[in-house]
Amino acid sequence: MNVLQQKEAEIEALKSQLKKQADEIASLKKQNEWYIEQLKLRQKEKFGVSSEKADENQMTLFDFFNEAEILRQPIAAEPDEKILVPAHTKQKTKRGAKLDALPVETIYYKLPEAERVCEICGSALTEMKKELLENDLLHADETTLKVLHEPGKTSTSKSFMWVYRTSVCAEHPVILYDYQEGRSGDYAKTFLEKWNGTYLHCDGYVGYKKLQNVTLCGCLVHAKRKFHDAWKVSKANEAAKTGETYIQKLFAIETRADKLELTDDKRLQLRQKESQKILDEFYEWGIGILVNL
């Protein structure tokens, strides 16, 4: 190999090395952008204002659950007052100070299992759950709930309120709430153990996968929220905006069906004609995004 060929070989090697470094830089840049986006999302979740904010005068469902806890809060002690008299000041005696020396005893009384359900309400709940479990399609969700002064739990621990409901198209709509101390999928599995339905509409929480022989239907509202949040933290994220746009198109079709008051059969025909095409495109687009990650 002469000198010229050797130099050409060295140049090609350097070009190859530069290309490899450029690819690594591009990959690291993409990773860095992803980490920055995740950081912004976490900051938004922790400090941002919720987009699902209710009217400040509206009483939420959980206000009813927490009402007893609110009322049982100890009354704040009255501030000490000083009464000014000529030549000196006199400390006002605290109300109830003479009772401080009395012993205090806390007694927890736990009702037997048979007495924990109202005879009247209990039978109604049994019938409602029976009606709920007869439906082929159900919806499920869970949310955190803080219960104050709960025996055996710290004030910072979280409990969960699980909700199960029938479709709005059900002949007898039913909504049931189930309070539990945790978020394990076993709670949903136990609650629905006698259900022989086919479809459970829920979010992407992995706990629902503990249910056997059930098709989990992902919630597009939850999916849209993820795309929207990703776009808000980075307006340059065209993929996030595209994903949200696909779902908005599907929602627009459903809104049109609602306004036209279509029957179930007519709505199905509309979905097969218009929604199916959008879903297919959405799926192919999503696969392409995953391949290029």
Q: Please check whether residues 262 and 209 belong to one and the same domain.
A: no
pLDDT band at 55 (very low <50, low <70, confident <90, very high): very low
Q: Where in 137-189 does DSSP place strands (E)?
A: 137-145, 159-166, 175-180
Question: What SS3 state is found at 165?
Answer: strand
Question: What SS3 state is found at 241?
Answer: helix
Q: Please check whether residues 258 and 206 belong to one and the same domain.
A: no
Residue 107 inside a domain? The answer is no
Q: Please check whether residues 143 and 197 belong to one and the same domain.
A: yes
Region of 19 on the Ramachandran plot (φ > 0 left; ψ -120 to 50 alpha; else beta) = alpha
At residue 208, the pLDDT reads 96
Q: Please check whether residues 151 and 231 belong to one and the same domain.
A: no
- Crossing angle of helices 238-259 and 276-291, in 10° steps, is 170
Q: Please check whether residues 138 and 197 belong to one and the same domain.
A: yes
Residue 202 inside a domain? The answer is yes
Domain boundary among 163, 188, 218: 218
Q: Please check whether residues 196 and 238 belong to one and the same domain.
A: no
Q: Please check whether residues 261 and 285 belong to one and the same domain.
A: yes
Maximum average pLDDT range among 80-94, 230-244, 245-259: 245-259
pLDDT tens figures, 124-151: 888 999 999 999 999 999 999 888 777 7
- If one compares 22 and 195, the residue with the highest pLDDT of the two is 195
Domain boundary among 185, 218, 251: 218
CA atoms of 277 and 292, how far apart (whole Å): 23
Write down the mean pLDDT value for the chain. 81
pLDDT at position 76 over 60: no
Residue 7 inside a domain? The answer is no
pLDDT band at 91 (very low <50, low <70, confident <90, very high): low
Residue 230 inside a domain? The answer is yes
Domain boundary among 195, 218, 241: 218
At residue 251, the pLDDT reads 96
**Residue span of the structural domain in which 177 resides:** 113-218
Q: Please check whether residues 280 and 185 belong to one and the same domain.
A: no
pLDDT tens figures, 15-51: 888 888 888 888 888 888 878 878 887 777 777 655 4
The domain total for the chain is 2
Q: Please check whether residues 186 and 263 belong to one and the same domain.
A: no
Q: Please check whether residues 120 and 202 belong to one and the same domain.
A: yes
